[in-house]
């Protein structure tokens, strides 16, 4: 009998993954640090899952807020939460983790795996743990009620990198029986630096922040929000991200390449590719500035790209300016609370040391 699987996070993605794993015969423990996310499932005694046109009811082994019960005796721990909670989850897990466990962040954004590891190590956890990060969430899905979830789309391929990179095969051996879509990334630098949200989220909010606060009609996020000038800044940020990746010898897709690969769109440049992408046509701008597009993607995406750039001697002036202005406007120190070198456990390292660390796990 295979070991049970833990899922931490009972939002849209976590509920869908837990139910899907159960549908495949796994014994699943699901927890969330915030009780309101699991109460509906507890009351109902299960999850109603709709995927690929079929609706089934799935029963889990444990549902609650107790991390200890959730991860005890499991091999695979799927973390499916906003990336700004990864550190908090690492803190909650650090004294409970067992030798040989695998933590997969769905997704890690940028620097998720190393931040998770640095956090548990700082708290004294010496267990033999692999932390991996998916490049993106495998599902497009939405909770349709307190105990029901609908999956609208399943990605055909999702890159997964393990920390250290040498352990990626071991992680895939555990996860591929359920999700053959996960494919090996070169390492966690590649998954981290392929973070497209870093491009499409913070700067368009910043450059439309007056409108978000005063245009009561709202506006279309990509079609109106990413105007020609906004697209120019997005492109500049993309170039900085790619320069950082190149400095570490990591191949990542440009924003244009990624759009062409992921969607049926066309155009001569980034602006046109975004305008012609039917999948983006109706997406509305957030109705408030307190949106994860900034509060998650600045500290968990732009900050670590800037920090990795700093080690590699790659200037990231546009990224840095967006971090500075959002920190000023949101009255938060996104650099400090986000994935700084200290929080990622990379402080004092050279570029070569960082590259080796991601490969071997040895500083």
Residues of this chain that interact with a copy of itself (CB under 8 A) are 204, 206-215, 219, 223-230, 232-233, 236, 289, 317-318, 320-322, 324-325, 328-329, 331
Nearer to a copy of itself, 137 or 321 (CB): 321
Residues 132, 161 contacting (CB under 8 angstroms): yes
Smallest separation, CB 288 to a copy of itself (Å) = 10
Q: Which two tokens stand for residue 260?
A: 């062409």
Smallest separation, CB 215 to a copy of itself (Å) = 7
Helices (H), the chain: 12-23, 39-44, 67-71, 86-93, 112-122, 168-175, 188-193, 197-200, 202-206, 209-214, 228-247, 255-262, 270-275, 292-295, 297, 303-312, 317-330, 334-337, 341-344, 351-360
Q: 303-312 vs 317-330: helix axis angle to the nearest 10? A: 140
Question: Does residue 159 have an active-site annotation?
Answer: no
In angstroms, how far is CA 17 from the centroid of its own chain?
A: 15
**What are the beta bridge partners of residue 132?**
104, 162
The catalytic residue among 32, 159, 238, 297 is: 297
Smallest separation, CB 112 to a copy of itself (Å) = 26
Smallest separation, CB 282 to a copy of itself (Å) = 15
Nearer to a copy of itself, 68 or 329 (CB): 329
350-351-356-361 Cα dihedral, nearest 10 degrees: 60
Smallest separation, CB 229 to a copy of itself (Å) = 5
User: How many other C-beta atoms are found inside a 10 Å radius of the C-beta of residue 230?
Assistant: 20
Nearer to a copy of itself, 147 or 236 (CB): 236
Nearer to a copy of itself, 92 or 209 (CB): 209
Nearer to a copy of itself, 98 or 215 (CB): 215
The catalytic residue among 86, 201, 238, 320 is: 201
Question: Does residue 201 have an active-site annotation?
Answer: yes
19 CB-near residues (< 8 Å, 6+ apart)? 47, 48, 49, 58, 149
Q: Which two tokens stand for residue 194?
A: 């392929």
Q: Active-site positions?
A: 201, 297
């Amino acid at each position: 009998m295979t070991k049970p699987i833990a899922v931490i996070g009972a939002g849209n993605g976590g509920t869908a993954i837990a139910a899907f794993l159960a549908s495949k015969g796994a014994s699943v423990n699901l927890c969330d640090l915030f009780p309101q996310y699991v109460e509906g499932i507890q009351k109902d005694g299960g999850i109603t899952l709709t995927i690929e046109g079929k609706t089934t009811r799935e029963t889990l082994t444990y549902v609650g807020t107790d991390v200890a019960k959730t991860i005890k005796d499991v091999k695979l721990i799927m973390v499916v939460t906003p990336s700004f909670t990864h550190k908090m989850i690492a803190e909650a897990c650090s004294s409970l983790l067992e030798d040989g466990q695998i933590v997969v962040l769905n997704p890690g954004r940028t620097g998720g795996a190393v931040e998770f590891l640095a956090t548990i190590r700082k708290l004294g956890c010496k267990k033999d743990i692999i932390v991996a990060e998916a490049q993106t969430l495998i599902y497009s899905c939405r909770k349709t009620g307190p105990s029901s979830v609908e999956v609208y789309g399943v990605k055909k391929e999702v890159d997964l990198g393990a920390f250290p990179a040498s352990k990626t095969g071991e992680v895939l051996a555990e996860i591929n029986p359920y999700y053959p879509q996960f494919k090996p990334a070169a390492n966690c630098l590649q998954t981290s630096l392929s973070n497209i949200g870093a491009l499409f989220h913070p700067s368009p909010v910043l450059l439309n922040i007056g409108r978000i606060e005063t245009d009561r009609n709202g506006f279309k996020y990509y079609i109106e929000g990413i105007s020609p000038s906004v697209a120019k800044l997005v492109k500049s940020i993309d170039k900085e991200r790619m320069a950082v990746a190149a400095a570490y010898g990591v191949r990542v897709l440009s924003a244009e390449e990624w759009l062409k690969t992921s969607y049926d769109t066309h155009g001569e440049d980034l602006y046109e590719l975004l305008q012609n992408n039917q999948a983006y046509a109706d997406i509305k701008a957030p109705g408030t500035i307190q949106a994860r597009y900034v509060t998650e993607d600045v500290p968990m995406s732009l900050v670590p790209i800037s920090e990795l750039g700093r080690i590699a001697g790659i200037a990231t002036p546009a990224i840095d300016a967006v971090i500075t202005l959002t920190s000023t406007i949101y009255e938060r120190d996104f650099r400090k609370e986000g994935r700084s070198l200290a929080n990622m456990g990379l402080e004092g390292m050279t570029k070569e040391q960082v590259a080796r660390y991601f490969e071997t796990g040895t500083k």
